Structure 1
Amino acid sequence: MKPFSDLGLSPQLLQAIHQMGYEEATDIQAETIPNTISGKDLIGQAQTGTGKTAAFGIPLVERIDTQNDSIQALVIAPTRELAIQVAEELNRIGQFKRVRALPVYGGQDIDRQIRALKKRPQVIVGTPGRLQDHLRRKTIRLQNIQIVVLDEADEMLNMGFIEDIEAILAQAPTERQTLLFSATMPDQIRKLANKFMIDPMQVKVKAKEVTMPNIEQSFIELAPNQKFDVLCNLLDIQSPELAIVFGRTKKRVDELTEALNKRGYAAEGLHGDLNQSRRDTVVRRFKEGTIDIMVATDVAARGLDISGVTHVYNFDIPQEPESYVHRIGRTGRAGKTGVAITFVSYREMDHLRYIERMTKKKIKREAIPTINEALEGQQFTAMENLRSTVEEKNYGSYRELAKKLLDEHDSIALVAAALKMLTKEPNKTKVSLSDLNAPGRLRTPKRKTERQTFPKTKRNTGKGGSYASGKQKNRFFDKKKKSKNR
């Protein structure tokens, strides 16, 4: 890694970078920043979590002429969430240089965006559909564009935006710099690069650099109709502070969310069919800890920057290794450890091995948790909650009541009753998951696609006290198991 001071940046940018807490450039930043400042077209192959937004954002802001109040740079992103996140980071990078970035995306009042455009931002970050809308209205003009960035190009391909992107690029000046970032490089992305880029430099982050060693990765092999009960048992055993459950489809997310709430967990769903206001509410509640489980599709979770996610559950195995890396990268951030567990059916084992080969990471097998382990997990959480309340000494007004009860009952009986009241016992409420046995398809190279089965689910848990960490509980269970074996 290189210090940013070695990359030829202006004092205003170095000041902003320092204030943002960046110390050294990541590999992709060290390679991308100098070459982008020099004006070269560039293709960067990198996933979320490698620092790619700053990799293109720092040189983009550096190249902006603050004396020119026209739109000089355009970033095209696949989702509203990513557009907002990128614009926020560009504004932080440009705070001392006084460079302004504006996000434009569907779901927000277009008249509000038009009013914001009149304040003359130098950078526009937008989703393809809304950008096309502004171009048709002539509320955004591209004649002075010097830099175009395509962020997460493979996702835009998957979402059917390639024709929109080509139409947008066709309206930008031919004398411009183009940067393209993508986790994968399918043929259509390469064709797009060949059509709109001039002799681009290629920067690729190796798989070993993005598999995140601070994440404890494991899988559970099980039948599709076991998934939901196993998920609930894991939630009861591990008591995650913040968890994301990934489902493959919007319908799966809706059913998982409903089913989890029926079981008494605090869960909200996030997918592309939600309006912007609803999406913002879900993300805000998750960040604030009002809910502790978010059920999401891959696309909806793109660009989410949420600290404190302790667990990721892949209810459906992702189709691509890059999606797997992106999903588990929601946890284990800022030097903290995280847990990622993937549910795999017998038919999906070959696909899991393919993910292991591509990510160069062996994923540990775990046994299916039992209902008794789930109960023990909740009992342990109740015990920790009771212990922490005692240690905090905030029970003064209850002392007289306690004395009265001790005159009537044995102390052990009273503590046992308190623990029983605090324990969230496993809920076996029946839930309906309509596509539990619906067929799906996985794309594993070098073999024909196989028929798969996939289910759906959801969760919700109240906050009430401190949670014991998964590792603490594992030590607790290990001791119990050893004592039983003696």
Structure 2
Amino acid sequence: MKFTELGLNDELLKAIKRSGFEEATPIQEQTIPLALAGKDVIGQAQTGTGKTAAFALPILQNLDKDKKVIQALIIEPTRELAIQTQEELFRLGRDEHARVQVVYGGADIGRQIRSLKNNVPAILVGTPGRLLDHLKRKTVNLEDVSTIVLDEADEMLDMGFIQDIESILSYVKNRKQTLLFSATMPKPILNISEKFMHDPEVVQVKAKELTADLIDQYYVRAKDSEKFDIMCRLFDVQNPDLAVIFVRTKRRVDEITRGLQARGYNAAGIHGDLSQARRISVLKRFRAGKLDILVATDVAARGLDISGVTHVYNYDIPQDPDSYVHRIGRTGRAGQNGNSITFVTPGEMSYMKTIERLTKKKMMPLTPPTDDQALHGQLKIAKTKIEDLMKEDLSKYTDDASELLENYSAVDLAAALLKNLSKDSADVEVNISSQKPLPSRGGNGRRGGGRSRGNYGHGGGRGRSGRGGYRGGERGHNDHGYSGYRGGDHGRSGGGYRGNNSHRSGGGHSFVIKNKKD
């Protein structure tokens, strides 16, 4: 179904077109008309099915622009999801001049209070802990909220937020509409729906099934510091026509793109910090075959539909099984064979098994090529280029060629040409900043405990039990952060975030390119 058939206004349709979306996903198609009509909705769908737009578009359309009060509240389990939702609302609501603010732990609460006071948002997005902080300080007034969204409700249950959710809902006394989204519907979630929702319409979207018979799926076991060199050797041996590399962060996109370019690969990257015009330009070049390699985050590659992609490289293991399905679905299209290669650190092996169980597909182990095999692959590509050149008219170069032959042997000249046409990447060292792996389910977070050097570290701070692998609050700048599947936000990194208002992963080394000969 087209978005034009869903009853959305012209401003929102313009924003949707600008984002490159044409057809609504099943969850959007079924949810948007119900939400526009003011009905309560329970949406059961997996991550990556377009839930954000399913609730964001009706909220934006139903806003009263003249009111300077909070009219909609969206609760997300983690700061990463809260930030992404706020960014999506901002993009979609730009023509509507919608005021959107996000609040989460780890950021300066004083700054948040000043912003809330000076420019009251129409839509407030936040994590449960920080929202409760503001409510107790009376720095947020939810009396005029008409719509409330509970996103990733089962994740909030796993993270011990259900009591917080009920406390927050008790402040929203005049709400007219509640939208609840969850991948699963355990009893506590159903209890919330029974207690706080009125005759909700149920929208169920089946989990994506992996129908990827034409995709050969491999994994490479490697330390984080080894991935880049191994990937380059794979390029040299596999010689992909068009390849997409998926990474976890914007910083990784920039680092890996610059590293590939330094080694002579025809690569470009896209992520959310780039302008829309820049992203469109890069994708246009990739579609036209003027780029060989596209480096992207999951968010930037949403809706990416490019024929001819022969290889997908998961430089960072996907954060949930649906993301894996989405990623490798970029190849193996239109009856063509495709290849996916996933890099897995030793600590992520059990998480990879979780993905295999849920997708019902097994990845085959792949042994990294040696340096000699990579060089052989480079020379094979270079010889093919020379053979293509020999088919062209070279008559205007013969005099200079004869002069060179007087001083050098034909073998030396051919060797120089091969060296020039192959990527002598062994002379270029590239360091990519290290990133903590996603553990599988992790261990139980500690119950109770201190405040972990910053705002609440979930599994510390508030005395809830957590199931993530890394305890939140690491480095003192994270609110309720988890890692690990079925931890927070399907394994998005919880610990190790640096600085207030920063959502770049901390730790590791700076990006460096240098010549080994120096």
Asked if TM exceeds 0.5, the reply is yes
Residue 205 of structure 1 and its aligned partner are, at CA, apart by 2.0
Structure 1 residues 227 and 89: alpha-carbon distance in aligned structure 2, compared to 1, 3 A threshold: closer
**Paired residue type of 1:178:** T
Name which of 297, 302, 305 aligns with 2:300.
305
Match of 2:145 in 1: 145
> What secondary structure, in the 3-state scheme, does the structure 1 residue paired with 2:178 have?
strand
The reply to whether residue 131 of structure 1 matches residue 131 of structure 2 is: yes
**Paired residue type of 2:235:** Q
Residue 336 of structure 1 and its aligned partner are, at CA, apart by 8.8
Match of 1:396 in 2: none
Structure 1 residues 80 and 353: alpha-carbon distance in aligned structure 2, compared to 1, 3 A threshold: closer
Q: Could you tell me how far apart the structure 1 residues matched to 2:401 and 2:273 are?
A: 40
**Paired residue type of 1:127:** T
**Paired residue type of 1:137:** R
Structural mapping, 1:11-50, within 5 Å = 11-50=10-49
Q: Could you tell me how far apart the structure 2 residues matched to 1:283 and 1:179 are?
A: 27
Contact 2:146 2:174 in 1 (8 A): no
Q: Could you tell me how far apart the structure 2 residues matched to 1:81 and 1:351 are?
A: 20
Match of 2:4 in 1: 5
Q: Could you tell me how far apart the structure 2 residues matched to 1:329 and 1:163 are?
A: 33
**Paired residue type of 2:326:** G
Structural mapping, 1:414-433, within 5 Å = 414-417=413-416, 419-420=418-419, 422-425=423-426
What's the TM-score once normalised by structure 1's chain length?
0.61
Contact 1:71 1:144 in 2 (8 A): yes
Residue 410 of structure 1 and its aligned partner are, at CA, apart by 3.2
Match of 1:172 in 2: 172
**Paired residue type of 2:300:** D
Q: Could you tell me how far apart the structure 2 residues matched to 1:328 and 1:463 are?
A: 37
Match of 2:494 in 1: none
**Paired residue type of 1:73:** A
**Paired residue type of 1:152:** E
Residue 383 of structure 1 and its aligned partner are, at CA, apart by 7.4
**Paired residue type of 2:133:** D
> What secondary structure, in the 3-state scheme, does the structure 1 residue paired with 2:179 have?
strand
Q: Which runs of 5+ in 2 are unaligned?
A: 262-270, 283-292, 391-398, 444-507
Higher relative contact order (CA 8 A, sep 6+): 1
**Paired residue type of 1:143:** E
Contact 2:150 2:181 in 1 (8 A): yes
Match of 1:243 in 2: 245
Residue 192 of structure 1 and its aligned partner are, at CA, apart by 3.8
Q: Higher helix share goes to which structure?
A: 1
**Paired residue type of 1:424:** S
Q: Could you tell me how far apart the structure 1 residues matched to 2:511 and 2:339 are?
A: 19
Match of 1:101 in 2: 100
Contact 2:128 2:165 in 1 (8 A): yes
**Paired residue type of 2:176:** R
Structure 1 residues 216 and 69: alpha-carbon distance in aligned structure 2, compared to 1, 3 A threshold: farther
Residue 73 of structure 1 and its aligned partner are, at CA, apart by 0.2
**Paired residue type of 1:305:** A
**Paired residue type of 1:313:** N
Contact 2:42 2:181 in 1 (8 A): yes
Contact 1:74 1:148 in 2 (8 A): yes
Structure 1 residues 185 and 373: alpha-carbon distance in aligned structure 2, compared to 1, 3 A threshold: farther
Q: Which runs of 5+ in 1 are unaligned?
A: 248-256, 267-281, 296-300, 391-399, 444-456, 465-486
**Paired residue type of 2:3:** F
Structural mapping, 1:175-194, within 5 Å = 175-194=175-194
Q: What is the aligned-residue RMSD (CA, Å)? A: 5.5
**Paired residue type of 1:204:** Q
Structure 1 residues 411 and 228: alpha-carbon distance in aligned structure 2, compared to 1, 3 A threshold: same
Contact 1:45 1:183 in 2 (8 A): yes
Aligned length: 397
Contact 1:12 1:97 in 2 (8 A): yes
Structure 1 residues 50 and 378: alpha-carbon distance in aligned structure 2, compared to 1, 3 A threshold: farther
Cα deviation, 1:22-69, whole Å, max 9, x if unaligned, reads 323221111001111222222222234322211111111122122222
Contact 2:82 2:102 in 1 (8 A): yes
Q: Could you tell me how far apart the structure 1 residues matched to 2:318 and 2:84 are?
A: 26
